Amino acid sequence: MSTTLALEKLIEEDRFYHYSQALYNTKDWSKIGAEIYLRSEFGEADMIFRQAKIVNKLFELETKSISKVLQTFFNEEILITYFLFINIFPSTILHQSFPSFINKMSKQFNSKRQMIVFEIVNTDYVENFLLLKERINLLKDLGYLIAIDEIGKGWSSLDMIIELEPNFIKLDQFFSRNLSSSDKKQQMIKSLIQYAHHVGIKVILTGIEHETDLSIAKLLGVDICQGYLLAQPKPLLK
């Protein structure tokens, strides 16, 4: 079976599922959110998204994935009291059908918008940055929150922070590795936190795996932490 046909089958038959990983407030270690990850028997998420982009199926896959996540969470008779961080590629936001999709979804989940954080996957170079900013403003106007993922890894991260004015920035796990023994990483995080807090942005540090690194993150003023030390990804209930 060709890659295109396999992806079409995956999308049409909902042959994918999701995991979530909790995020914790460093002030009192309360759970403040959960990041959602796509999984499939087709392969690793990065490979699935990469192939979907190649065969021009990324928008279809991402929007269906988002819809499935929200149906899972908000159609249950449970009260969601934390933020859902949902990854989304810039190309999906820039797609001509995205405004129609997001407006339809907003009507369906009208009272839940303030709990949904669209986490921009910071890996693609964006040619039409003005349009991206316009679409981000649309999301904000509808009541959604915005996060920028992988700060320190993707393209023009600092430009995105300044121009898009997100609610959260997520520092790449590069910063959490051996953080306790790296003065350079600590100084960089301090600088990012100083700017972020000045403009009202919460700072999230990902990839926490060791107690010493977690302690330093809290000491530096990181608002939220995420990583295997605190919670491992777990499957969502269907």
Query: What pLDDT digit, counting tens, does each position of 142-159 carry?
Result: 999 999 998 877 555 788
Exposed, middle or buried, 22 (CB in 10 Å: 0-12/13-18/19+)? middle
Tens of pLDDT, residues 40-59: 887 778 888 888 888 889 99
Exposed, middle or buried, 19 (CB in 10 Å: 0-12/13-18/19+)? middle
Q: What is the pLDDT of residue 22?
A: 95
CA-nearest of 86, 133, 134 to 109 is 86
Mean pLDDT of 166-172: 95
Mean pLDDT of 123-128: 78
Q: What is the pLDDT of residue 40?
A: 87
Q: What is the pLDDT of residue 43?
A: 72
As for how many domains the chain has, the answer is 1
Only one residue has tokens 């919460």, namely 202
Range of the domain at 187: 3-235
76 pLDDT more than 80: no
Q: What is the pLDDT of residue 75?
A: 64
Q: What is the pLDDT of residue 90?
A: 94
CATH number of the domain bearing residue 195 = 3.20.20.450
Mean pLDDT of 15-24: 93
Q: What is the pLDDT of residue 80?
A: 66
Tens of pLDDT, residues 174-231: 999 999 999 999 999 999 999 999 999 999 999 999 999 999 999 999 999 999 999 9
Mean pLDDT of 117-123: 87
60 pLDDT more than 80: yes
Please report, for residues 23, 24, 95, 111, 194, the alpha-carbon distance to residue 223 in angstroms, rounded to integers and kept in the order given.
10, 9, 33, 26, 12
Q: What is the pLDDT of residue 236?
A: 78
Q: What is the pLDDT of residue 10?
A: 85
Q: What is the pLDDT of residue 190?
A: 97
Which region among 3-12, 61-70, 99-108, 214-223 has the lowest average model confidence (pLDDT)? 3-12
Q: What is the pLDDT of residue 67?
A: 93
Q: What is the pLDDT of residue 165?
A: 95
pLDDT averaged over every residue in the chain = 90
35 pLDDT more than 90: yes
